[in-house]
Amino acid sequence: MSYKLPHLPWLRTFEAAARNLSFSAAAEDLHMTAAAVSLQIRSLEQYLGFQLFERLPRGVRLTDMGLAYLPSVRKAFDELALSTVGLFGNRGDRSITVRSTAAFAVLWLAPRLHSFIEAYPDIEVRLLADIWADAQGADQSAIDIRFGDGHWEGFNAELIQKEASVPVCSPVWLERAKSHDALVTVAQNNPIHIMGCEDLWTRWFRMVGIKEDRAHKGLQVDTSLTALELASAGSGFALVLRSLAQSYIDSGRLISPFEGELPIEQSHYLLQPKGGKGPSPEVLIFRHWILETVRLG
């Protein structure tokens, strides 16, 4: 089959210019002159018959056609890099730094990371866990996993999975309560609040139709991991993402005493800084692995 495609160097230059929104910055990335970048972009535009960039007094801006074309070009380069590294390996140091929230690192990544290590034994993994996991500066060999609304200035964010929160508690509370209503009252009087998500219990009680909300008091913690440990010790009721609570539920340390889940707007995202040289092949491999692991359940 014959493919009618633009020259590969033109596409590589287009991706670099789109990533940096600057012909001169793209030239630095590609070890070219700005004039050469401009010429290749102009050649690509003439080949396609569409303008891809608006030339501004300072920098450039993608046109609507440029914005529409960019994801396909990036996907093609990502898949080519993945295939090349997967088949032929990569020369030099192969390592990746994964920076994550503590709860996601301990409760989601840790039980699954062995499958990545087994599949890619020559890639060294450095896992750094933090409470808030603030994204660091540009590093093509690092990837950040953060919890939020998907909008971080200076970063491209890719959703890992959309989730809901579920209330959990130690089985001892179920043994003490004589009825469902009594258990609800106990939950109202013993909530565990996670900082930054203090309104979850209020929303939960409203969702299940309980008008009187006394869930404004209780323990306050800074991570879901702490909330789950406290709940399993019988110190109260936690309302956390199901994916983080599932191992506790499966082991019997916690139960989900009420039906239903609370939809939430925030989720975990994979972050990569905008601009720069783009992610390393190892980062692309890890990104593909984590998204495929989520998809397969």
What percent of the chain has pLDDT above 70? 89
Residues 140 and 256 in one domain: no
Mean pLDDT computed over 191-206: 87
Best CA proximity match to 288, nearest among 171, 70, 115:
115
In a domain, 216, yes or no: yes
Beta pairing, strands 164-168 & 262-263: antiparallel
The reported pTM is: 0.70
| Cα gap 52→21, rounded to integer Å | 11
Burial letters for 106-139: b for 16+ Cβ neighbours within 10 Å, e otherwise?
Answer: bbbbeeebeebeeebeebeeeeebeeebebeeeb
Please give the distance of CA 223 from its chain centroid, rounded to a whole number: 17
Same structural domain for residues 150 and 282?
yes
238 and 114 part of one domain: no
User: 37-68 pLDDT, tens per residue?
Assistant: 899 899 999 989 999 999 988 889 999 999 99
User: Which pLDDT score is estimated for 208?
Assistant: 80
The residue behind tokens 């062995």 is 114
Q: Summarize pLDDT for 7-17 with one digit per residue, the tens.
A: 888 888 998 88
Does residue 2 lie in a domain region? no
pLDDT at 89: 61
What is the rounded average pLDDT of the residues 197-226? 80
pLDDT band at 169 (very low <50, low <70, confident <90, very high): very high
Q: For residue 67, give both structure tokens.
A: 């914005």
Strand segments, DSSP code E, in 38-119 are 53-55, 60-62, 95-101
pLDDT confidence bin for 90, thresholds 50/70/90: low
Q: Which segment of 10-19, 88-97, 189-198 scores lowest on mean pLDDT?
A: 88-97
Percent of the chain whose predicted confidence (pLDDT) is above 90? 34
Number of domains in the chain: 3
pLDDT at 192: 94
- Exposed (0-12), middle (13-18) or buried (19+): which is 178, by Cβ within 10 Å? exposed
Same domain, 223 and 77: no
Distance CA 45, CA 40 (A): 9
| Owning domain of residue 221 | 164-263
Mean pLDDT over residues 116-120, rounded? 88
Contact 98, 128 (CB under 8 A): yes
